[in-house]
Structure 1
Amino acid sequence: MNFDFSDDQKFLREEARKFLSAKCTTAEVRAVLDDETMSHNEAVWQQIVEMGWLGTAIAEEHGGLGLGMLELCVIAEELGRALAPVPFASTVYFFAEALKLAGSDAQKAALLPKVADGSAIGCIAASEGPGAVEAGKLATEYKDGKLSGTKIPVTDGDIATHAVVLARDGAGVSLVLVALDQPGVTRTSIETIEPTRSHAEIVFDGAEGERLGAQGDGETLYNEVMNRAAVLLAFEQTGGASICLEMATDYAKERYAFGRPIGGNQAIKHKLAEMYVKNEVARSNAYYGAWALSTDAAELPEAAAAARIAASEAYWFASKENIQTHGGMGFTWEVDCHLYYRRAKLLAVQAGAPAVWKEKLVRALETRNAA
């Protein structure tokens, strides 16, 4: 079994890296961080739209490129390396995947072309506060075509045009598709550790919506969307972790102390070696997840959970040790280390914290072993 990418996919990765290296430097990331009025970098976003990346895994009949999930994984890793301050993940990993998975033909025809051409920005709204999302504890309700309740935090919820909302619906829960530019929706931006990815509180007060998928299937569909998004987020995290290792290694080679590079010190060597090992474990699990995602394999739940856990651990560790390797300079605003630490902390909880995914992994393994 070959878990490597094809030559065409590797070429796509090289071209994506060249593009992002030129158009999405840390200067573009800092522009959002330094300006409280900016939710994302619009210039970078429009260039990504022009590249057609939003439609990578969307069928040609809906205006996409008609490629596949492996190509999307490749792009996700490069976006992670670049710390792209854009609503790509919310729109593509969550919103578009929910539409592809559960949308009717009419819903797909209406919205997937808008995702592909950048005229629609999507998000998923499930959380209602601290803790894991649990269907039995949801307060948001969908009744008679109207949605009422509060979701917080919602990644990119302040700039999204549409949302997929997890809500109570009769005796069960359903996914509800909602346009956010209507009177029954109130949005308030909220502060997080990572301002380059905006978040919001969304209050629904009789907002009109329509089911995405069948009534009562919300929990199952939501979990399937999370499995897909987990793999793509793992590639973003792996990309970010690899940059942290590169930054730390380069600095260890050029920073001299007591007449020798600090990379010659055993403590620094151990840091870099452990970063490398964790990164490779994360990459192996991400590749397994990519295989399961691209083939719609039965192993996707456990592969997604393993990828999510390993990538979250690797990125957090690499971003932390990158700061430590840079010493006193690593804690300063001027050095870029904190940009990766912020993103690592955010991505670790964006689709559920590692503890949630560890529980999912245990359940997936128990289910498989019991079969």
Structure 2
Amino acid sequence: MNFDFSDDQKMLKEQVRKFLTDKCPYSVPRRILDSDEPYAKEVWKGLVEMGLTGTAIPEAYGGLGLGALELCVIAEELGRAAAPVPFSSSVYLASEAIKLFGTEKQKQTWLPKLAAGEIIGTFAISEGLHAPSAANIKTSFAGGKVNGVKTPVPDGDIADVAVVVVNAGGKVALAIVDLKGAGLSHEVLRTFDPTRSHAEITFKDAPAELMDGQGWEQVSRILDGAAVLFAFEQVGGAEAALEMARDYSLERYAFGRQIGSYQAIKHKLADMYVKKEIAKSNAYFGAMMLNDEGAELPEAAAASRIAGCDAYVFAAQENLQTHGGIGYTWEANTQFHYRRAKLLALTVGAAIQWKEKLVARLEAKNAA
């Protein structure tokens, strides 16, 4: 069985890497970190011009008509660069949600704009510190209006449209809300990684449209797909952190020797590599299930998510340790992967939540 990407997909990966290497060096996330800019508009514009925002959107709605595998290779490169752009919110979540569960009218209205990068989308599910579930969604939908508070919402301060998880008459449903419409207010939130903006959005009789069907199964499918894509971002980030640590260990000398020649550093790098490869293996299997809409997608997504979080956080921490005191300074680039690793470890749910999901899904499958 071949788990590798095709030559065309590898070529796409190389093109994205070249673009991000040229246009998104670490000076770009540093600029966003040091300023009030919510994201790097020039990088976002370049991704849009390459057509990447429409990668998995069907040609009938203005997209490239490719698939999940192409999104996976793009996600890995975005992770390597710690790119400060709203790609995940708009593409992994909003676009995919509308593509999967939007009405035909909603697809025709929103997907061409999302594919062309004319608007930015997001997905609003969290309502505070507790893990969202079918039993605790309080944001309500009734009479074509949404009321409630969602926090934190990734890119909620810059997004034009949101797919909102709501309680519609006692049932969980998805609603599309034009964030430029009436009945809305937002407050920018401070997070550990300011290069990815988040906001609290308050809905007060905000006009909305329900999407097709109702049920937590829809929400789970969207989160499962995003979990696989975020796992690729985490693999890319872990690989970049490993390479950063390796390069520093070869150029830094202590007591007349490269620090990379010391066993303690060798072990750090080896452990980083092993965790990265485990995450990569899980992500590849998740990609196959996502691309084929395989029956094992729920388990594969959870495993991808768990391994991705573990690998990226570990690599980012060990990268800091390898750099020693200099790694903790503001001038060091190690912070960008450390910040992003911590943020991605909470995006679409913490690892502990996905471990619980994995156990529950395996138990349900074995009991069937």
TM-score, length basis structure 2:
0.99
Distance in 2 of aligned mates of 1:171 and 1:255: 61
Distance in 1 of aligned mates of 2:77 and 2:346: 20
Partner of 1:335: 332
Q: What are the equivalent positions in structure 2 for 1:24-63 lying under 5 Å apart?
A: 24-35=24-35, 37-63=36-62
Q: What are the equivalent positions in structure 2 for 1:221-300 lying under 5 Å apart?
A: 221-300=218-297
Question: What is the CA-CA distance between 1:171 and the residue it aligns to?
Answer: 2.1
Distance in 2 of aligned mates of 1:367 and 1:136: 19
Are 2:193 and 1:208 aligned? no
Instruction: Output the amino acid matched with 1:29.
Output: P
Secondary structure in structure 2 of the residue aligned to 1:57 = coil
Cα deviation 1:201-255 (Å, max 9, x = unaligned): 00000000010122x32x1111100000000000000000000000001111111
Q: Is the 8 A contact 2:193 2:339 kept in 1?
A: yes
Q: Is the 8 A contact 2:124 2:164 kept in 1?
A: yes
Q: Is the 8 A contact 2:151 2:201 kept in 1?
A: yes
Match of 1:303 among 300, 304, 316: 300
Distance in 2 of aligned mates of 1:280 and 1:302: 19
Instruction: Output the amino acid matched with 1:15.
Output: Q
Q: Which runs of 4+ in 1 moved over 3 A?
A: none
Instruction: Output the amino acid matched with 1:32.
Output: I
Distance in 1 of aligned mates of 2:18 and 2:166: 42
Question: What is the CA-CA distance between 1:135 and the residue it aligns to?
Answer: 2.2
Instruction: Output the amino acid matched with 1:70.
Output: L
Instruction: Output the amino acid matched with 1:246.
Output: E
TM-score, length basis structure 1:
0.98
Partner of 2:146: 147
Are 2:350 and 1:323 aligned? no
Secondary structure in structure 2 of the residue aligned to 1:119 = coil
Distance in 2 of aligned mates of 1:296 and 1:138: 27
Secondary structure in structure 2 of the residue aligned to 1:136 = coil
Partner of 1:102: 101
Distance in 1 of aligned mates of 2:137 and 2:361: 24
Q: What are the equivalent positions in structure 2 for 1:40-189 lying under 5 Å apart?
A: 40-189=39-188
Secondary structure in structure 2 of the residue aligned to 1:210 = strand
Cα deviation 1:253-291 (Å, max 9, x = unaligned): 111100110011111111001000000000000000000
Distance in 1 of aligned mates of 2:232 and 2:251: 29
Instruction: Output the amino acid matched with 1:229.
Output: A
Q: Is the 8 A contact 2:29 2:83 kept in 1?
A: yes
Secondary structure in structure 2 of the residue aligned to 1:298 = coil
Instruction: Output the amino acid matched with 1:187.
Output: H
Instruction: Output the amino acid matched with 1:174.
Output: A
Percent identical: 56
Question: What is the CA-CA distance between 1:180 and the residue it aligns to?
Answer: 0.5
Q: Is the 8 A contact 2:182 2:207 kept in 1?
A: no
Secondary structure in structure 1 of the residue aligned to 2:135 = helix
